[in-house]
């Protein structure tokens, strides 16, 4: 495992699966909607992550009108929130929304070392979730106070793997995507980050197979955020990545 220090202006985090883990509520909600529309649950769960909810309903239930897709996307996110609240009220910790290991510590390292002279926002969230949903579940997970730059699904016309969300995130943070490091757990998000021109860390928090992230052209792959740290040298932030080695099979494919 190698350690690389990457100089960046800002870190652009995906949210679900990257900073927070809402898996129990998410899969429970998909189970309900798959039964409602007679969908293949395993297929949906394996292909939904990293995409906006409205886009998932467009893909998985093509018989729905655009208006119906938008309504079901709202219903879906509301159901996740309901399930998470129920788990919190009942004390079922294994069903609650929690912080990804290392997330709070990394954000604290980013914020703690920032000099007042640096005007760029050093971290941001760029999520495929809607703004209302994202604010609710991020607060629920108690990761950190929210960043000043928070890009959600309703702020863009095209979701990941389109680069638009990350291009907007970099712009709002006060820099260019080429000076950013994207942190993602979904192949679609990793592709979006690379298309925006950023370097990308892939997390094995949702898809444990690192090969899927390498194939999405992630620059680094780690188990979770305990393998990522931040430090400042004057006005320059560095992200220290303890990356796994890229498999030779993926490296060979990239060279073809």
Which stretch of 13-17, 82-86, 200-204 has the lowest confidence by average pLDDT? 82-86
Between helix 53-60 and helix 66-90 the angle, nearest 10°, is 120
Name the average pLDDT for the chain. Answer: 92
Q: What pLDDT sits at residue 256?
A: 32
How far, in Å, CA of 116 to CA of 93, rounded? 39
β-bridge partners, 232: 237
pLDDT confidence bin for 89, thresholds 50/70/90 = confident
Q: Give me the active site residues, please.
A: 14, 16
Find out whether 113 and 11 touch, Cβ atoms under 8 Å: no
Element (H, E) at 222: strand 220-222
Q: How many CA atoms lie within 13 A of 229 on its CB side?
A: 7
The domains found in the chain, sorted by start residue, are 2-21+97-255 (3.40.50.1000), 23-95 (1.10.150)
Contact yes or no for 56/153 (Cβ under 8 A): no
Give the three-state DSSP class for 154: helix
Encode pLDDT of 179-199 as tens digits.
Answer: 999 999 999 999 999 999 999
Distances from the Cα of 106 to the Cαs of 51, 138, 241, in angstroms? 25, 16, 11
- pLDDT single digits (tens) 22-63: 888 888 999 999 999 999 999 998 888 778 899 999 999 999
What's residue 248's pLDDT?
A: 78
Structure tokens at 120: 């760029």
pLDDT tens per residue across span 101-140: 999 999 999 999 899 999 999 999 999 999 999 999 999 8
pLDDT band of 253, cuts 50, 70, 90: low
Closest CA to 182 of 205, 203, 198, 164: 198
């Amino acid at each position: 495992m190698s350690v690389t220090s990457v100089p960046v202006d800002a870190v652009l985090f995906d949210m679900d699966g990257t900073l927070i883990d809402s898996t129990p509520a998410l899969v429970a909600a998909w189970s309900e909607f798959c039964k409602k529309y007679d969908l293949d649950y395993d297929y949906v769960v394996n292909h939904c992550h990293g995409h906006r909810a409205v886009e998932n309903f467009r893909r998985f239930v093509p018989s729905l009108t655009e208006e119906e897709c938008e309504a079901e996307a709202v219903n879906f996110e509301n159901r996740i929130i309901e399930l998470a609240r129920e788990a919190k009220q009942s004390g079922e910790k294994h069903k609650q929304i929690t912080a990804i290991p290392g997330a709070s510590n990394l954000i604290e390292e980013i914020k703690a070392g920032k000099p007042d002279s640096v005007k760029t926002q050093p971290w941001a969230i760029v999520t495929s979730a809607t703004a209302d949903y994202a604010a609710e579940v991020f607060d629920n997970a108690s990761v950190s106070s929210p960043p000043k730059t928070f890009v959600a699904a309703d702020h863009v016309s095209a979701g990941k793997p389109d680069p638009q969300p990350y291009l907007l995130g970099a712009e709002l943070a006060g820099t260019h995507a080429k000076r950013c490091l994207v942190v993602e757990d979904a192949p679609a998000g990793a592709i979006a980050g690379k298309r925006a021109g950023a370097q990308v860390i892939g997390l094995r928090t949702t898809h444990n197979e690192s090969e899927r992230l390498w194939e999405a052209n992630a620059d680094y792959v780690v188990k979770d955020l305990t393998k990522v740290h931040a430090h400042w040298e004057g006005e320059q932030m560095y992200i220290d990545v303890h990356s796994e080695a890229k498999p030779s099979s993926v490296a060979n494919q990239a060279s073809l």
